[in-house]
Structure 1
Amino acid sequence: MIAETFNLTDYCQRIGYAGELHADLATVQALMQYQLRSVPFENLDVLAGKPISLNPDDIVAKIVDRQRGGYCYEINGLFALALQALGIEWQFVAARPLFYPVKRPRTHAALLVRVEGVEWLCDLGFGSYGIRAPLRLEVLDTPVQQDSDTFMLSEENGDLILKALVEGEWARQYSFNRCPVEWIDFAPANWMNSTHPDAVFTQKPLVVRFTEDGRNILFGDAFKQIAGHTVTKRTIAAEEQAMLLAEHFRLTMEA
């Protein structure tokens, strides 16, 4: 994955990170945290009928230059560019979302990262209960606390399963294996997610931004704020959306 326009300094400025940069786990954790809190998961271009480009330079222009967010291919693609600039080994994996009532294809893009001799799952572009820090792949069936969320990796039939503790129950989020995939392999899934009438991204706004103790979520006209174990919900009017996006998601609507 090559982007002629990617600049690590510009990326760090975009996510608000001013710390030291090294090819180590501490840097990966810090960059993941800062990007999650500054770059929202969002499908606004899909709803506007704009094509979602998998060209790395287009991703840089959208997220870094224009201060936008994106969905998994864009957000994890940007993080992969940062890892690459740091000289950290990574690969894409194709994950199958598991929270639908019927079996779905492997349309989600996640990252496996090898740093300090250990493999980790990194994922900044999952719109549901996404992890908040790298998860060590070899640690299975062990709850891992990340801020106010709890996750666990398990293995079933050769696949690794990401689970999140939701209201006291383990909810399966997605499955994946270590088989590497190429960037171009996500082109069909990107087209389906951005154009198919049954895809969740083509139906209503879905915007998520992580905070220090939870996340802000806009889905359709429902706005939810999760702060620790406190959840507040309200319905927003159409004329409120632009102000809400700016205040809680750091997004400015484009023409």
Structure 2
Amino acid sequence: MHANNFVLDDYLNRIGFSGPLAADADTLARLMRAQLFSVPFENLDVQAGKVVSMTPEDIVQKIVYQPRGGYCYEVNGLFAMALQAIGLPYCLLAARPMFYPVRRPKTHMVLLVRADGRDWLCDLGFGSYGIRAPMALDVLDTPVAQDDDQFRLSRDADGVYLLQAWVDGQWANQYGFDLHPQEWIDFAPANYLNSTHPEAIFVQKRLVVLHTPQGRKILLGDSLKRIENGVTRQHSVPAEQADQLLVEEFALSLPA
């Protein structure tokens, strides 16, 4: 994944990353959390009636320099650029969201990263119940604690992996994926669907999610949910305060 305007130091400054930088699993985990805690998942361009740009240079300009966030192709695409810059091998994978009431196509993008001789699932763009750190693909059917959240991976006889999150006292399916590598262009149809289809959640409602060390903040439509140390608080946001909230709570510049 390459963009002519990607500058590693500018990216690291954008996400507030400090400390040693190496092509290892420790750096991978610290880099992922730094981006999660500073770059929101958001669909503001879709809500403004735009088709999200898949041009790598547009992604860098939007997230690093405006600054904004993005949805899965953008935030995971930017992370892939950083991985390439520090020498961590990766591939793009297509995942099937599984929280819908009916079967959906593989419209989600995740990353498979090789570090310290192991394969890791990385995903910085799944919204409300996204993982908060890399997950080792060789740890299966075992709950993995990530701060106050729990996740687990399983694998069926056909080699399909399933990511689940512990939600409201039960394991909830998030998405399934296999290890067949995808090219960047393979996600163009899914991006168009997510940007334009009336049944896509991104078209229906504004969604902004920012992970924090204590939990996450989620703006869905006109409702703001704060999850801190396992405690959830929720309140409605008046329309006239929405823009101010995006700036103050999510550190976003507003789209033109």
**Structure 2 counterpart SS, 1:128:** helix
Superposition pairs of residues 149-160 of structure 1, within 5 angstroms: 149-156=149-156, 157-160=158-161
Distance 2:255 2:196 in 1: 20
> What does the per-residue CA deviation read over 1:55-99, in whole Å, with 9 as the maximum and x for residues that have no partner?
111110000011100000000000000000011100000000000
Contact 1:162 1:173 in 2 (8 A): yes
Match of 2:25, as an amino acid? Answer: L
The structural deviation recorded for 1:54 is 1.0
Question: Match of 1:186, as an amino acid?
Answer: F
RMSD: 0.8
Contact 2:207–2:220 (CA under 8 A) maintained in structure 1: yes
Give distance in 1, aligned partners of 2:128 and 2:90: 23
Corresponding residue of 1:128 = 128
Amino acid at match of 1:16: G
Q: Does the 8 A contact of 2:209 with 2:219 survive in 1?
A: yes
List runs of 5+ in structure 2 lacking aligned partners.
none
State the AA in 2 paired with 1:209: L
SS at 1:234 equivalent:
strand
Amino acid aligned to 2:68: R
Cα deviation, residue 252, structure 1:
2.3
Q: How many residues in Structure 1 have an aligned counterpart in Structure 2?
A: 255
**Structure 2 length as normaliser, TM-score?**
0.98
Shift of 1:20: 1.6
Q: How does 1:83-122 map to 2 (within 5 A)?
A: 83-122=83-122
Contiguous gaps of at least 5 residues in structure 1: none
In the alignment, what sits opposite 2:69? 69
1:162 is matched with 163
Q: Does 1:6 align with 2:22?
A: no
Q: How far apart, CA to CA, are the structure 2 residues paired with 1:234 and 1:180?
A: 41
Q: Give SS of 2:112's match.
A: strand
Q: 1:197: Cα distance to partner?
A: 1.0
Query: Partner of 1:193 in structure 2?
Result: 194
1:1-255 equivalences in 2 (<5 Å): 1-156=1-156, 157-255=158-256
Deviation at 1:249, TM superposition (A): 0.9
CA distance in 2, matches of 1:181, 1:252: 32
* Residue type at the aligned position of 1:69: G
Q: Following the alignment from structure 2 to structure 1, what is the Cα–Cα distance between the partners of residues 128 and 46?
A: 18
Structure 1 SS opposite 2:92: strand
TM score, norm. by length of structure 1:
0.98
Does the CA-based 8 Å contact 2:128-2:218 persist in structure 1? no
How far apart are residue 168 of structure 1 and its match?
1.4
Displacement of 1:13 after TM fit?
Answer: 0.3
Residue-by-residue CA offset, 1:130-187 (whole Å, 9 max, x unaligned): 0000000011000000001000001124210000001110001000011101000000
Q: Is the Cα–Cα contact under 8 Å of residues 10 and 64 in structure 1 kept in the other structure? A: yes
Alpha-carbon contact 2:66-2:253 (below 8 Å) kept: no
Tell me, what secondary structure is at the counterpart of 2:52? coil
d(CA) in 1 for partners of 2:179, 2:186: 15
The 4+ residue runs of structure 1 with deviation greater than 3 A are none
1:137 aligned partner, one-letter code = L
